Amino acid sequence: MNFDGQSIIVTGGGSGIGRATVLKFAELGGRVAVADVSLDAAREVSSLAGGGSIPLQVDVSDAAQVRAMVDETVAAFGGIDVLCNNAGFGFLGTVADIGEADWDRLMAVNVKGVYLCSKYSLPALARSGEGRIVNTSSYTAAVGIPNRAAYVASKGAVSALTRAMALDHVGQGIRVNAVAPGTVNSPYFNKIVGESADPQAVLEELNGRSPMHRMGEPEEIAAAIVWLASKESSFATGSVLTVDGGTSSW
Ligand SMILES: NC(=O)c1ccc[n+]([C@@H]2O[C@H](COP(=O)([O-])OP(=O)(O)OC[C@H]3O[C@@H](n4cnc5c(N)ncnc54)[C@H](O)[C@@H]3O)[C@@H](O)[C@H]2O)c1
């Protein structure tokens, strides 16, 4: 795979799966806009990536900030070939106990963020002639898990939107796919484990979700994102590629 001269945006590029994805694209010759709500994190990853990468601060739920992200990327790189809608977060809770403001915030980042970043990148992606969008969904879009109602609903929307956008934009030469990771050893889960009363028990529960008895590493998800974003996956559009160590096969 080769991304020489290609212009790539990775949202949520400052940490975890996004960070690993930025570094892989850069290794393969891509010029990456590392877009994150945390400018410090974006700067750190951008400097690690090198190769003309740029750090950008963006809240993906804010249309004005998203337009600025797109404009700055086009100004720096001359266009956009690949958009990775990866920014997202989750929290525990059932419909009975999730507050309305928390529900709205999660949907604004995880779902509206994909809509906004795609909407404002589409003209540049169409100009590319072979634009590609890769969304980060979750295996939980296809199989429910308990006590994560808002998160699971948001990722169901991301997978559905992936298929809808694939059909809407195929005529512009744009492919739209998603990766659906299982539980991944990212800073988010390290924090949960570290703050729990019984870290060993929490770690065993997380590892036990997969028949491989381990979490995935960010690099193992990045590899799938990069393949979907590459010219090697030229017949894939509307695909939701599950990479979950077998979790959803149980
Ligand atoms: N870690 C997992 O087990 C797992 C599993 C399935 C799917 N995912 C999905 O993968 C994606 C990346 O998650 P991760 O595990 O790498 O988490 P992470 O917390 O390590 O990284 C997420 C990044 O997104 C950024 N971000 C959060 N809100 C943002 C916003 N409004 N605008 C811009 N940036 C924002 C954060 O600052 C952070 O740098 C998310 O969409 C997540 O839902 C994660």
Mean pLDDT of 96-101: 98
pLDDT band at 189 (very low <50, low <70, confident <90, very high): confident
Average pLDDT over all residues of the chain: 97
Q: What are 215-248's pLDDT values in tens digits?
A: 999 999 999 999 999 999 999 999 999 999 999 9
Q: How remote is the CA of residue 171 from the centroid of ligand 1, in Å?
A: 30
Ordered domains of the chain (ranges, CATH): 7-184+219-240 (3.40.50.720)
Which of 148, 184, 191 should be mutated for ligand 1, with most atoms under 8 A from CB? 184
Instruction: Return the ligand 1 atom nearest residue 183 CA.
Output: 3
Using a cut of 0.85, tell me whether the model's pTM lies above it.
yes
| Cα separation, 16 vs 23, whole angstroms | 11
Identify the active-site residue in 115, 120, 139, 151.
Answer: 151
What's the pLDDT score for residue 172? 98
CA nearest ligand 1 atom 36, residue: 12
CB of residue 17 inside a 6 A radius of ligand 1? yes
Mean pLDDT of 205-210: 92
| Cα separation, 200 vs 222, whole angstroms | 27
Q: H-helix or E-strand containing 202?
A: helix 199-207
What's the pLDDT score for residue 190? 85
Mean pLDDT of 93-112: 98
C-alpha dihedral, 137 to 8 to 19 to 58, nearest 10° = -80
Kindly tell me if the per-residue pLDDT of 51 is higher than 90: no
Biggest CA pair distance of the chain: 53
What's the pLDDT score for residue 129? 97
Mean pLDDT of 105-124: 99
Contact 83, 133 (CB under 8 A): yes
Query: By mean pLDDT, which of 4-13, 38-47, 186-195, 235-244 is the weakest?
Result: 186-195
Kindly tell me if the per-residue pLDDT of 194 is higher than 90: no
CA nearest ligand 1 atom 21, residue: 15
What's the pLDDT score for residue 223? 98
pLDDT band at 56 (very low <50, low <70, confident <90, very high): very high
What is the percentage of the chain residues whose pLDDT exceeds 90?
93
Assess whether 188 carries a catalytic annotation: no
CB of residue 211 inside a 6 A radius of ligand 1? no
Query: By mean pLDDT, which of 60-64, 184-188, 232-236 is the weakest?
Result: 184-188
CB of residue 183 inside a 6 A radius of ligand 1? yes
What's the pLDDT score for residue 188? 82
Q: How remote is the CA of residue 109 from the centroid of ligand 1, in Å?
A: 10
Kindly tell me if the per-residue pLDDT of 187 is higher than 90: no
Using CA atoms, how far residue 197 sits from 48, 186, 202, in Å, is: 35, 19, 9
